[in-house]
Amino acid sequence: MEKGTIRRPRWGGWGLCGALALLFATTGFSAELNLDGMDTSVAPGNDFFAYANGGWLKATEIPADRSSYGTGAILAELNTRRIRDLIEHANEPQARPVVDFYTTYLDEAGIEKRGTEPLEPILKRIDAIQDRKALARFMGESVLADLDILNNTQFHTINLFDFWIAADLNAPNRYVPYLLQGGLTMPDRDYYISSAASMVQIRKRHAAHVAAMLKLAKVADADAMATRIVALEGKIAAKHWTREQTEQVAKGNNPWTLQDLQKRAPGLDWKTFLAAAQMGKVTDFIAWQPTAIQGLSALVASESLATWKAWLQFHAIERVADTLPKAFVDEEFAFHGTTLTGAVEQQARWKRGIQATDDALGEAVGKLYVAKYFPPSEKARAEAMVAALIAAFGTRIDRLDWMSPQTRAKAKAKLSTLKVSVGYPDAWRDYSRLQVVKGDAYGNAERGRQFELQRNLGKLRHSVDRGEWVMNPQLVNAVNLPVMNAILFPAAILQPPYFDPKRPSAMDYAAAGAIIGHEISHSFDDQGALFDSSGKYESWWTPDDFAHFTAAAGKLADQYSQYKPFADLAVNGKQTLSENLADLAGLAVAYDAYHISLKGAQPPAVSGFSADQLFFLSFARSWRSKYREPALRQRIIADGHSPSQYRALTVRNLDPWYEAFDVKPGQVLYLKPENRVRIW
């Protein structure tokens, strides 16, 4: 869903009072709309995003330590401060690892004193690599087996290859390792191969960054090594699949055995690699980007051993930069923060410490969070709304005039078996085996990664747990897991400004309800529609029904491809199709569920707005956001979500929006009824 946070969020910088003021004033989520956040000089039919948010856009500056800023970011900032307070005042024994991890991360003096000493053993190990077998062994030992794909919208790993261990597309009751492309410092292949002037400049800065990091680690001949590393990453990028290709399940579902890897992707010593990755006994994998895997494996054989060793040393430094002295941290931010996203200032160390602690001990932090900030009453209220949205979605399926009885029955079966988890997991993760050592920030981070590796490898010994949580409860986000036919709604997103018991219900249905509907509908979008009620990758459509669905989805892709925030860069409607389909269906079903909840009553106007106007305004305001140019470009290139201002324009496809705001032919956003995309 991608509402508020990713693995390394860059928003914030406001004090607590400022954050609260923005939450409950300029965002306008209260019983009385704050018209200062709107721009009523703009006709809703010409620019609905500006109409709902123009005042806020004009008055709000993106904080210096952020690359983007908006409703979700403000809530995430508030949560970060809440978590800091929880950690700083925690005194129960079970919270000690969380406290020690966080306080050790904040001990910059101690980190400076240790210098590069923690890094030296791994650099020496890389330097000792003498042949391709040893190279394969080291690469295998470096795998994470947990790319945090669901929290990281870019499917990104710095390792040449990595694994995501998840339910098997073809047998969803078991886990399987998905083998994925990696190896790049920058977010996407386009950063390496695009001829755009902005990309050329970024590549120059990338080369300087690689050299700077090597010099800080006192690696010999850093400039020459940097040249080889940058050239190698360019070759790696040329082999990569595009983001659009990567999201096509039919192309990614390639069951391979060890023999297949050796035969189809020669170059890397796969047997040695897998044994080192603790997967020597695994019999089969899913090769998600097969031609990229072939190309990258060939590079292992064709490129010099010295070049690969240089590349490994650089990435070993990159991966742990935040636990090294300040010079490393500053250089890392200068490139990944300022150059790639446009952020002006680095986030405060304590904020980065909260994120690092979340990464290593997420559910332990989450347990503290929900105990204070997610009462049973709100969990019950959220579960009731989920039930209402599921019922409304079922009613919409029943009303579809284009769907055959056979497909309808399968769709209803899938909806009825959907597993929904709200707030937090039924059973909390046990971190007793994770050793947290005071004064060892580097070691704590490495042991945290190893803990996650072992936890994920352990899945291969068990059947699929549909109750597993892949997001922390304190994350401002939500997710649909098609292969598990399951949805998660973390506690953090089920609060104001998305979910608030003190305001008109139209606002909750438009914000939280649209999020819930969005995740439900992911089970039926262009990707989710490929999975049956058990989560198996298997068609359950008649050919005519699927052809109708595909044609309608194509119209939506074309609609979004018309949005062009830059003269040289437009939204990729195919790349963002899944999320756009979910936004459309989610908003439509939320609207239905809201009106069902009224039971025929007519709510009073609020600040002069009718209930329907309030509904659509609240939806648009939930996507309130601003981006710095580099961040917006990165989102368009590497993300499966459309920029927020275009997600708010989902309303163009709903007839009630036209009626609510008297949108007429000739206005910019007007679509003829026959051109409005109608699917679910």
The amino acid present at 582, given as its one-letter code, is: A
* Helical pair 577-598 and 376-399, crossing angle rounded to 10 deg: 100
Nearest in space to 645 (alpha carbons), one of 622, 625, 619: 625
Query: For residues 276 and 141, is the Cβ–Cβ distance under 8 A?
Result: yes
- pLDDT, one tens digit per residue, over 300-329 is 999 999 999 999 999 999 999 999 999 999
Reported confidence tier of residue 29, pLDDT bands at 50, 70, 90: very low
Please provide the DSSP assignment of 457-512 as one string.
HHHTTSB--TT--SS-TT-S--EEEGGGTEEEEEGGGSSTTTS-TTS-HHHHIIII
Structure tokens at 372: 């204070």
**Environment class of 262 (CB within 10 Å of its CB; exposed 0-12, middle 13-18, buried 19+):** middle
Query: For residues 116 and 306, is the Cβ–Cβ distance under 8 A?
Result: no
- pLDDT, one tens digit per residue, over 464-478 is 999 999 999 999 999
Place of tokens 């405060």: 348
Please provide the DSSP assignment of 371-393 as one string.
HHH--HHHHHHHHHHHHHHHHHH
**What's the CA gap between 593 and 307, in Å, rounded?**
59
- 207 pLDDT more than 80: yes
Cis peptide before 497 (omega within 30 of 0): yes
The amino acid present at 680, given as its one-letter code, is: W
- 7 pLDDT more than 90: no
Interior CA angle at 191 toward 186 and 197, to 5°? 135
- Count of other CB atoms within 10 angstroms of residue 550: 12
Which of the residue ranges 32-41, 237-246, 552-561, 665-674 would you say has the lowest mean pLDDT?
32-41
| Mean of pLDDT values over 531-557 | 94
Please measure the distance between the N-terminal and C-terminal CA atoms of the chain and give it in whole angstroms: 18
How far CA 559 is from CA of 54, 517, 577, 587, 650, in Å, comes to 23, 21, 10, 17, 10
Residue 408: the pLDDT is 96
By DSSP bridging, strand 419-423 and strand 486-490 are: parallel
Residue 458: the pLDDT is 95
Query: For residues 19 and 78, is the Cβ–Cβ distance under 8 A?
Result: yes
- 405 pLDDT more than 50: yes
**What's the CA gap between 277 and 623, in Å, rounded?**
41
Residue 290: the pLDDT is 98
Question: What's the DSSP call for residue 336?
Answer: I
Residues with Cβ within 8 Å of residue 552, at least 6 apart in sequence? 677, 678, 679
How far CA 378 is from CA of 28, 95, 512, 528, in Å, comes to 21, 25, 12, 29
Question: What's the DSSP call for residue 338?
Answer: I
- Per cent of the chain over pLDDT 70 is 93
Domains of the chain: 16-29+49-84+352-675 (3.40.390.10), 116-323 (1.10.1380.10)
Residue 156: the pLDDT is 74
Place of tokens 């947290």: 436
Residue 216: the pLDDT is 98
Place of tokens 């199709």: 577
Residue 14: the pLDDT is 21
- Its sign, for the CA torsion 319, 321, 322, 323, is positive
- 596 pLDDT more than 80: yes
- Count of other CB atoms within 10 angstroms of residue 209: 24
- pLDDT, one tens digit per residue, over 272-288 is 999 999 999 999 999 99
**Environment class of 427 (CB within 10 Å of its CB; exposed 0-12, middle 13-18, buried 19+):** exposed
The amino acid present at 350, given as its one-letter code, is: W
**What's the CA gap between 137 and 647, in Å, rounded?**
45
**What's the CA gap between 524 and 529, in Å, rounded?**
4
Phi first, then psi: what are they for 601, rounded to 5°?
-75, 155
Nearest in space to 175 (alpha carbons), one of 265, 92, 286: 286
**What's the CA gap between 585 and 523, in Å, rounded?**
11
**What's the CA gap between 452 and 446, in Å, rounded?**
10
**What's the CA gap between 423 and 366, in Å, rounded?**
10
Place of tokens 């590497």: 638
The amino acid present at 655, given as its one-letter code, is: D
Cα 239 off chain centre by:
24
Nearest in space to 642 (alpha carbons), one of 664, 658, 625, 656: 625
- pLDDT, one tens digit per residue, over 108-138 is 999 999 999 999 999 999 999 999 999 999 9
**pTM (global) more than 0.85:** yes
| Mean of pLDDT values over 60-80 | 96
Nearest in space to 38 (alpha carbons), one of 479, 608, 636, 493: 608
Query: For residues 179 and 287, is the Cβ–Cβ distance under 8 A?
Result: yes
**What's the CA gap between 48 and 510, in Å, rounded?**
15
Q: For residue 192, give the 3-state DSSP assignment.
A: helix
Q: What is the total residue count of the chain?
A: 680
**What's the CA gap between 401 and 398, in Å, rounded?**
8
Place of tokens 């978590």: 83
Residue 28: the pLDDT is 36
Residue 155: the pLDDT is 59
Q: What is the dihedral of CA 253, 255, 258, 259, to 10 degrees?
A: -110
Residue 527: the pLDDT is 84
Question: What's the DSSP call for residue 410?
Answer: H
Residues with Cβ within 8 Å of residue 204, at least 6 apart in sequence? none
